[in-house]
Amino acid sequence: MAELKTVGTSVQRKDAIEKVTGSAQFIEDRYMGPMLYAKMKKSTVAHGIIKKIDLKKAQAHPGVKAILTGKDYPNKIGLYLIDRDFLAVEKVRYWGEPVAVVAAVTEKAAAEAVELIEVEYEELPGVFDPRESMKPNAPVIHEDLGNYEIVPIFYPKPGTNIANHFKLRKGDIDKGFAEADLVIEKEYYVPQMQHVPIETHKAAVQWGHDGKLTVWSTAQSPNVVRQLLAKSFDIPMHKIRVISSYIGGGFGCKAGASVEGLVIPLAKMFPGYIVRIIFNREEDMQGTFTRQALFSKLKTGVRKDGRITALQYEMIWDGGAYTEYGVNIVRAAGYSSTGAYDIPNVKTDSYCVYTNNSIGGPVRGFGMCEMQWGIERQIEEIAKQLDMDPLEVRMINGMKKGSTTAAGQVVQDVDYHKCLKTVADQIGWGKKEGKYRGKGIAGLVKCPAQPSNAASSAIIRINEDGTAHVMIGATEMGQGMLTAISQIASEALNIPVDKIDIKVPDTDFTPYEWQSVGSRITYTCGTSVKRAAEDALGQIYLIASDLLETPQEDLTFDGKKVYSTKDPGIKATIREIADSCKKCTGEGIAGPIIGRGSFVPTNMTNLDPETGQGNPGLFYCFGATGVEVEVDPETGVIKILQLAAAIDAGQAVNPQLCISQLHGGTIMGLSTALYEEVKFDKGIMLNRNFTDYKISSIDNTPHIDSFIIETPETNGPYGARGIGEQPMIAVAPAVANAVCDALGIEFNTFPLTPERVWKAIKDSK
């Protein structure tokens, strides 16, 4: 491969100037035209039948234009399982579920009117623990589960609360346990967390007089929003335009479609007006996706030499009231259920279970943080019982080139061992530093969880002066996509990054991208853009060849001109080629240059419904986290003394932005390890603000030593793979492993709050 010029350099972010000057436009910063403001009336019970909704007082409130309830539009929506009501119809399934939506001339009037709506419920018994909810006598939350439309790779059990049962059988589990010298079985619990992007969910919708629906949304995936709305409201796709702005943090909560559908029927009533809804912080925490809680049982068989021979994993996920998206997290955790380890015999059952808690859904890690918590904790237990070094157990079982995943997919381009060794060396592994100090390491792996045909496309327009516009459907939520994608285009086109313009998407003008999720964009969109660039470049050569009457193979393009390698005097500027090229006689040769590229995975397959075997991964990204802690035995407070993170980016497109992602994921992981847990009381979310739900702030964020490992991804653009989600995954278990090393106390759940640690110290005495 030729030496890289732009890929691999830390060029300045494309969005830098806008973001530091406050001129970067987010949805709420846009003036769009005459507006109406919407607010939701939310349920006050977690499970109940709506007996009556009295709108009279609210309708008479000054400024109110319209109020709609679930009866007015019983449309459903869902990415994988179409089970979600925009507005509750007949019954509510979680506390805070929208039951009515008001449009008014001011936000204040809408909020006041909401208070005047009177709703009468007949409360039903609720279920708030998925283990209870799985039992045959549990109250059924979705009576119509058997009639819901579903992507046929999920397996609900109608008549129960099980929305998906993912089964995986690899090798021979009985043989695996028979070969083991030691069998360990433990239970683990991971609570719900919230993404809390600083920008909440927002959408504005206009129903044009011509029947065109325009949607401005904080969604991570404009194309999927368009697709889901088209289906839910039965509108042809060319009549829906979804416009993205910069997104003020996503982390998964803005994936799929969320708030947009709440205001579409209101917009339809007032053509020309823009109806806007903005979730406040409390609504954002309680009414959008939370990370699904996980109750798991993990049993491993291991030989005396440290080799794991069998793994049996039962995972029961709290899917919450609607599992339209959550069913796929459960699937992903199932097919990845050996974590970063090559284990020959596996039996996994992963259940997505409805409860009357808030809606479960995608969060950075997509099930991997929760599932690999158990794996990475259990390896410590294995090491302890075998009196081995836990790092060695990881090294012995860790995946390497040619290993197979739980699903039986062969992994390539892997150097997990280097990731482990890097963080171990950094934190001085093996050296005990003091009585209440301890060190811990954990590893990670993740592939994008996406349908096997999740596609991507790109268009590149070459301007008359040789500058270019890159048009794509991916969204910019901080991950640096605009910059990385421009660098890939620049590399392939040989045009400098500063001569490339790139913008966030608008479905009327930018080509299709499935979703900006799963750390897939660098790979998928990057591949499309590289292909579009090569297509444009091919046209440049073709046109130049005609113009210069020179064979293409003798020509080369230096970004400014095309010239003959045999006679540099034979040359044409990019301007001459790109500006509707004509011969000196005036005869036209070619019109404007438009490069086209698209991508769909060819290495993924469906999974066998009984064994879960197949190829679910587009690529696999490995990494590791190392931590040193000091615990105050009097208070239970954990101090992070060292934090090291390594991720295998394949080829860092932009090293500075890779480090940003590595830091960001590590800090979010640390925040969940130490502070974050959404608390419910019979479905009522108790901590719905930043005072009660604490997240990392600058004053409690330690220095991170970060390492980008580069084991090129054979099929990734210039060897790159995505790394956005991954750095979060190993942090919580690494911290717990370090605390365990310090205190000799096992933790099977987190966050490791001072209270929890203090109690554990007290109980151990």
Partner 1 sequence: MSEKIAINFTVNGDNESRDVEVGQTLMKFIRDDLHLTGTKSGCEIGECGACTVILDGKPVNSCLVLAVELDGKELVTIEGLTKNGELDRIQKAFIDHAAFQCGYCTPGMIMSARALLERTPEPTDEDINEALSGNLCRCGAYQEIREAVKSASKK
Is residue 715 near partner 1 by the rule CB under 8 A? no
Looking at 8, 287, 526, 665, which residue binds partner 1 (CB under 8 A)?
665
Inter-residue contact 155 to 331 (CB < 8 Å): no
Interface with partner 1 in residues 15-54 (CB under 8 A): 15-26, 28-29
- Choose between 30 and 307: whose C-beta lies nearer to partner 1: 30
499/495 Cα distance (integer angstroms)? 7
**Cβ nearer to partner 1, comparing 227 with 661:** 661
When binding is defined by CB under 8 A, the residue of 200, 244, 515, 522 that contacts partner 1 is 200
DSSP-derived letter for residue 582 is B
Shortest Å, Cβ 697 to partner 1 = 5
Q: Which is nearer to partner 1, 79 or 285 (CB)?
A: 285
- Helices 754-764, 731-743: inter-axial angle, 10-degree rounding: 30
Sheet with 571-573: list strands edge to edge. Answer: 555-557, 561-564, 571-573
Residue of 755, 335, 604 whose CA lies nearest to 763: 755
Q: Which stretch binds partner 1 (CB under 8 A): 84-92, 529-537, 692-700, 745-753?
A: 692-700
Segment contacting partner 1 (CB under 8 A): 411-419, 435-443, 592-600, 664-672? 664-672
The contact mask relative to partner 1 for 269-298 (x = CB under 8 A, - = no) is -----------xx-----------------
Query: Widest CA span of the chain, in angstroms?
Result: 95
Distance CA 143, CA 164 (A): 15
Q: Is 197 in the site for partner 1 (CB under 8 A)?
A: yes
Among 409, 696, 726, 749, binds partner 1 (CB under 8 A): 696
Q: Which is nearer to partner 1, 601 or 665 (CB)?
A: 665
Q: Are 70 and 89 in contact (CB under 8 A)?
A: yes
- Name which of 477, 724, 754, 522 is nearest 636 in CA terms: 754
120 binds partner 1 (CB under 8 A): no
Please, which residue, 121 or 707, has the CB nearer to partner 1? 707
Token representation of residue 621: 């990204």
Closest to partner 1 by CB, 543 vs 657, is 657
Does 667 contact partner 1 by CB under 8 A?
yes
Residue among 412, 494, 656, 715 that touches partner 1 (CB under 8 A) = 656
Residue closest to 266 by CA, chosen among 110, 88, 119, 79? 110
DSSP 239: G
Asked if 137 interacts with partner 1 (CB under 8 A), we say no
Q: How far is the CB of 57 from partner 1 (least distance, A)?
A: 21
Least CB distance to partner 1 at residue 16 (A):
5
540 belongs to the binding site for partner 1 (CB under 8 A):
no
- Applying CB under 8 A, the site for partner 1 has a residue count of 56
Residue 523, token pair as written in the block: 């790979």
The string of DSSP codes covering 685-746 is E---STTTS----GGGPPP-EEEEE----TTSGGG----SSGGGTTHHHHHHHHHHHHH---
The smaller minimum CB distance to partner 1, of residues 477 and 624, is found at 477
Nearer to partner 1, 26 or 509 (CB): 26
HSE, CB side, 13 Å, CA atoms: give it for residue 287. 28
Taking CB under 8 A as the criterion, which residues in 239-268 touch partner 1? 246-251
Q: Please, which residue, 109 or 382, has the CB nearer to partner 1?
A: 109
Phi, psi dihedrals of residue 83, rounded to the nearest 5°: -125, 0
Structure tokens at 392: 């060695």
What's the token pair of residue 128? 């708030």
**408 or 478, CB closer to partner 1?**
478
Q: Which of 84, 86, 44 is nearest to 203 (CA)?
A: 86
Using the contact rule CB under 8 A, the part of the chain among 180-188, 595-603, 666-674, 678-686 near partner 1 is: 666-674
How many other CB atoms are there within 10 angstroms of residue 484's CB atom?
28
Binding site for partner 1 (CB under 8 A): 10, 12-13, 15-26, 28-29, 195-200, 246-251, 280-281, 477-480, 656-657, 659-660, 663-668, 689-691, 695-699, 701, 703-704
